[in-house]
Amino acid sequence: MSGGMWAEKYRPQILDDMVNQTEIVSRLKNFVKEKNLPHLLFVGPAGIGKTTSILALARDLYGSGYRNYTLELNASDERGIDVIREKVKNFARTAAIASEVPFKILIMDEADSLTSAAQHALRRTMEIYTRTCRFCLIGNYSENIIEPIQSRCSIFRFSPLSEVDAKGWIKMIASKEDVQLLEEGLEAIYEASKGDLRKATNLLQAAAATQEGVVDDVAIYSILGRVSPGKVREILNLGLKGEFLEAREALRALLIDEGLAADDIIRIIYSEVLRLGIPERWKVRLSDTIGEIDYRLTQGARPEIQLSALIAKLALAGEEMDR
């Protein structure tokens, strides 16, 4: 295994390396071909390639010296109007020198964190310096960007990667780093990351470092400090079979021995109940019971008692289903 951050090591460098996002990449390639682009607004969940896309576009547009023509700012750290008045204006007002492309690119990450005053100042700056600078604003939610800015940008909506693409990316990194990634480990990484490749890569690296190159689901959930769905399934199956005391002991092991939060446990219980091979009307009844238990927990009820009551309901449900 190599050192350094794998998320940076395997970050796509050019648009051709991008994973999925086919339509967006195609449009960005046209901008590179024409050596021109509008102001851009990239929105979507974290870790799916928004910042990577604009950096890849800049590298394709300017070549290896692209850093001389780009400025990256993180609006969550520098969100006030003073940043717009100073850093942004100073960069935007000067033209690109010794480049076939007449403008520079300013990348504002987490732009949806900008204050309202800063956004209005940015809108004016975008209007004045269009000839010398193009702006790429990046955020999770477009509704947090004021309408005057949205109307001045081409909006690209990034979607989470498909399961096939995400798993393929994880397996590629594992192979290159000589990590033995077990199938249950791959499933756990995907379930935890939900298409966020940065999170998936960081999880893989952390698990590989702690498990000496062998990654399974136990390693992943241990790093996350979360309950393994497999252990929850075991508790549910014991409950449905009527083995209440055994299921309760397995539950107590999660709560006391592993120190897991009741909120996390009941969240996994809910998702696993929906996957059980039982009639749908029983899924409805059990979901209603889980909702009631969850509410009691928020009101300060004792977790062990409430979750034991849930197991008791499972045992009664299993008994009725067998009739």
132-141 mean pLDDT = 92
Distance of CA 262 to the CA centre of its chain: 24
Report the CATH fold assignment for 229-321. Zinc Finger, Delta Prime; domain 3 (1.20.272)
What distance in Å separates the CA atoms of residue 110 and residue 13, rounded to the nearest whole number? 21
User: What number is the average pLDDT over the span 201-223?
Assistant: 85
List CB contacts of 115: < 8 A, sequence separation 6 or more: 79, 80, 81
pLDDT of 79 above 60? no
Can you give the pLDDT at residue 227?
76
Ranges of CATH 1.10.8.60 domains, the chain: 163-224
Delimit the CATH 1.20.272.10 region(s) of the chain: 229-321
Look at residue 260 in the predicted model and tell me its pLDDT.
80
pLDDT of residue 225: 77
pTM above 0.85, yes or no: no
- Dist CA 158 CA 40 (whole Å): 13
Instruction: State pLDDT tens for residues 137-159.
Output: 999 988 889 999 999 999 999 98
Instruction: Tell me how far apart the alpha carbons of residues 172 and 164 are, in angstroms, rounded to a whole number.
Output: 12
pLDDT for the residue 189: 92
Q: What integer pLDDT is reported at residue 202 of this predicted model?
A: 92
Mean pLDDT of the chain: 88
- Reported as a single tens digit per residue, the pLDDT across 4-54 is 889 999 999 999 999 888 899 999 999 999 999 999 999 999 888 999 999
Q: Which residues in the chain are classed under CATH 3.40.50.300?
A: 21-157
pLDDT at residue number 318: 86
Q: Is the pLDDT of residue 291 over 90?
A: yes
Q: Is the pLDDT of residue 297 over 60?
A: yes
In whole angstroms, how far apart are CA 235 and each of 4, 173, 241, 277?
40, 34, 10, 15
Which tokens is 246 given?
Answer: 């055994």
Third-level CATH fold of 21-157: Rossmann fold (3.40.50)
Strand, helix or coil for residue 106: strand
Q: Which CATH architecture has domain 163-224?
A: Orthogonal Bundle (1.10)
What burial class does residue 114 get, using C-beta atoms within 10 Å of its C-beta: 0-12 exposed, 13-18 middle, 19+ buried? buried
Q: pLDDT band at 80, cuts 50/70/90?
A: low
Structure tokens at 149: 């800015």
